Chain A
Amino acid sequence: MMDFFSNLDLLMLGSAALSIMLGLFVGMLFGALPGLGLIIGVTLLLPLSYAMSPVNSILMLLACYQGAEYGGSISAIVLGIPGTAMAAPIALDGRQMAKTESPGKALAYSLYGSTFGGIFGGLVLIFFAVPVARFALKLADPEFFLLGVVGLLAVATFGAKDFVKAVISVALGLLAGTVGLDLFTGTSRLTAGYFELYEGLNLVAVAVGLFAFSEVFMMLSARINKAYSFEAHHLKISLTLREALGALKAMISGSLIGSLMGVLPGVGSTVSCWLAYSGAKATSRTPEKFGKGSGEGIAAPDAANNATVGGALLPFLALGIPGSASIAIIAGAFIIAGIQPGPQMMRNNPELIEMIFIGFMATTVGMFFMGKALTKLFVRALVTPNSFLVPAILVSSMIGIYSSKGHFFDLWVALGLGVAAWIMRRLDYSIAAFVLAMVLTPIIETSFRRALVLSQGDYSIFYSRIYSQVIMAVIVGILAVALVKSLRRLRNSRQAATKGQATS
């Protein structure tokens, strides 16, 4: 470490800081604009990275990743439009608090959570990269399947108004998740002959349709010139120490879930946010506030979101396995710079690893300050009349969908889903449950089937392994707690009813 600091010079530090700031800015901006997101931001920065030094280009892309994870929460809170399907839980409480209480405070919970999660994920990455990556290798399909099921149970914590309708939403989501080529037989399912559906529904089109378009339709069917008005101090992005400490437990649990889940390839980034939300609700002292604007309900999924970045980077740096789609793109920049991540890099290029680690921590700190500065501008969206917001959202959404894959087809998918989601929302079906089920289906289904292919049809593979037993115990625990709570509620309401009769 001492060597590292003695080798530092001001110019290098300056250019690294500039790279990080550029990455953060692009990431936050693209994350916050509906439809655009991390992948498009990174793709835009890639050509630039060819002209930069390896470390700077890597730091810029990592900063973009961090920034986009936080940026997605801004639109979730301010507009009720989560940037990605995975960030949907943040909209649940974020939007409520922004509308009814204080948008500044909602964004502050999100920013504090994100920063905490980012630093936490970074620390896990720095100190436990190798052991955690080794441990993660031991988890296999039976566990991924069970984790997917745990994720699905999170639906119960969304506080749906109508339970049957929530279950129907889940069923529809599971169905939508099976669209595409079946990995095991090579045949296409529910594609109606459209090649655009062979790789499944485009997640960008889905997120835009379900969240952005349906929100736009809601705005149009409400008063078009409606704008919220707040006193100036409610637009300030800050928390009191007491408020921050109140959400500390949620941030810690969210970060823990996020950084550990992020390590699992393909699974982690999908479920971490949802698990963090339900985890925070289960351990909260005020679970009844969830869904009505709870600070913990914002901070926990946001911490998980950003902790996932460090988690996802971990198997990549330690073992050379890019665990998420975003890391896979960043991996391209590593190779172009002539760096092959993996055990060899950990051994042969410790100084490079150190630079990445230090730079990674710098991105999280930078995110906090840039977040404070930039978010002020985004809050203005809340006090802007819908007649101005609607066209802006539509333009940004449509550009985002088209540039994600270059298919006009996806625009129609988004429009269709947008109309469907708008109808579902008016009838109290749960969009969050639908999208959760949809993104979990590939995990649940392929892990289930692959586990059975491997065990040659023997179901004991799901309970004979120690890791799956642990997850099974968690599932049973969740169900037991839920049962006890609902029984207690039933008894309380009965007592209340009998008391009511007695007094009357």
Chain B
Amino acid sequence: MTFHYKTTLAAIALAVGAGPLAAEDFPSKPIELIVPYGAGGLTDAFARAIARAAEAELPNEEKIVVVNKPGGGATIGLTAAVNAEPDGHTVVFLTASPLVIQPLYGKTQYTTDDFQAISRFYDIPSSINVRADSEIQTYEQWLEWVKANPGDFTYGTSGGTGSGGHISAEELAGELGVELRHIPFEGSAQLTTSIMGGQIEGTNQLPDLHRGGEIRPIVFVTPTKPADAVYDNIPTTRDLGLDAEVIFFSGIVGDKDIPAERVAILDDAFRAAMESPEVQDLFTKYQLTPDYAGPEEFGQIIDNAVARNEATMKRLGLIE
């Protein structure tokens, strides 16, 4: 009798357990979210917060495991993602450069087309900056100055030659018909020190005026600005009607062969995760504007970025 009772229970449990499994078998194991950077940075913080929040939204109560795979200018993490089984259980949280710049140099083991867009969460703003105590105060003054002194405006970027900061500043210079001089740096600490110490005239980076910093933005090369009110009067290239614009997006992409219905499940979970208090809190702390885009719109952004970068990189002689 007892035996019978137990088997019945087990059979019920099995039936209940198997129910949803038959309806939708994705995800059937933990999802690996590759972060192509080391632990502890901004991208890593967002990836972890979104992973935690998206777990609650996924069917089958599967976990999302964040795996840091830094190195090779973030290309190693993307290579790992395309080499994984395209079943939707491996996706990558990335920023623009490894997807829409690095492959154009033709050395990575993947191309931009090997990936498909899933969800975009936010863009990182970037602007051409000068020191706060500089005589140049506005975009007009800056334009006048660089036109009068061709090649004298030195600007630093944290990524060096051929990085997103370099390419976007040169795209602006090309559109304006002015000559700027690029000074490469490694990392934003040395870059910020150099502009504050007066070694260089300007930078192309995220300004820090909102936390009492001493770097004044002149014009944003991105369509987005940090949320703080101190930036309200600073124009973007889009405001000025200039055909020079860069989007340093952050979002999740996956292998191009992941089935569409699985992409939809993932996208739904990530979009819902953006609304969680923890993720919203992070947006406030980093002064970033949440800006969701689904697979289609995000895919468009990626295609546009590749076309723009290719044109500028060819003009600069970085690629053939």
- A residues sitting closer than 8 Å to B (CB atoms) are 39, 42-43, 46, 136-141, 181, 183-186, 188, 195-196, 198-199, 265-266, 315, 319-323, 328-329, 332, 335-336, 338, 340, 342-345, 347, 405-407, 442, 446, 450, 453-454
Contact = CB atoms under 8 A, between A and B. Distances in A.
B134 interface: no
A186 B317 CA distance: 12
B89 to A, nearest CB: 18
B71 A199 contact: yes
B192 A183 contact: no
A45 to B, nearest CB: 11
B212 A343 contact: yes
A315 B196 CA distance: 12
B71 A342 contact: no
Give the secondary structure class of B's interface: loop
A406 B68 CA distance: 8
Nearest to A346: B212
B186 A446 contact: yes
B287 to A, nearest CB: 9
Contacts of A265: 189-190, 193
Contacts of A139: 197
B319 to A, nearest CB: 10
Contacts of B197: 137-140
A356 B198 CA distance: 30
B208 A320 contact: yes
B72 A332 contact: no
A336 B45 contact: yes
17 contacts: A137-B193, A137-B196, A140-B197, A140-B199, A184-B160, A185-B161, A195-B108, A321-B193, A328-B189, A332-B41, A345-B211, A406-B68, A406-B69, A442-B186, A450-B184, A453-B183, A454-B199
Contacts of A446: 186
A406 B67 contact: yes
B160 A321 contact: no
Interface residues of B, number: 49
B145 interface: no
A344 B212 contact: yes
A186 B186 CA distance: 12
A151 B236 CA distance: 45
B128 to A, nearest CB: 18
Nearest to B76: A195
Nearest to B192: A321
Nearest to A186: B162
Contacts of A138: 197
Contacts of B190: 265-266
A265 B158 CA distance: 13
A196 B76 CA distance: 7
Contact of B45 (A43, A185, A195, A332): A332
A199 B72 contact: yes
Interface string B66-86: 011111110110010000000
A198 B75 contact: yes
A230 to B, nearest CB: 40
A335 B40 contact: no
A336 B285 contact: yes
Contacts of A39: 38
Interface in B70-122: 70-73, 75-76, 79, 105, 107-109
A265 B285 CA distance: 25
Given A266-B190, A406-B67, A195 B79 contact: yes
* Highest count of chain A CB atoms <10 Å: which of B71, B75, B154: B71
Interface string B33-70: 00000111110110000000000000000000001111
B237 interface: no
B243 to A, nearest CB: 25
B189 A323 contact: yes
B285 A338 contact: yes
Contact of A405 (B38, B193, B211): B38
Nearest to A331: B40
B109 to A, nearest CB: 8
B166 to A, nearest CB: 9
A183 B184 contact: yes
B189 A321 contact: yes
Interface string B179-197: 0000111110110111011
B317 to A, nearest CB: 11
B17 interface: no
B160 A186 contact: yes
A342 B212 contact: yes
Contact of B72 (A136, A196, A442): A196
Contacts of B163: 186
Contacts of A199: 70-73
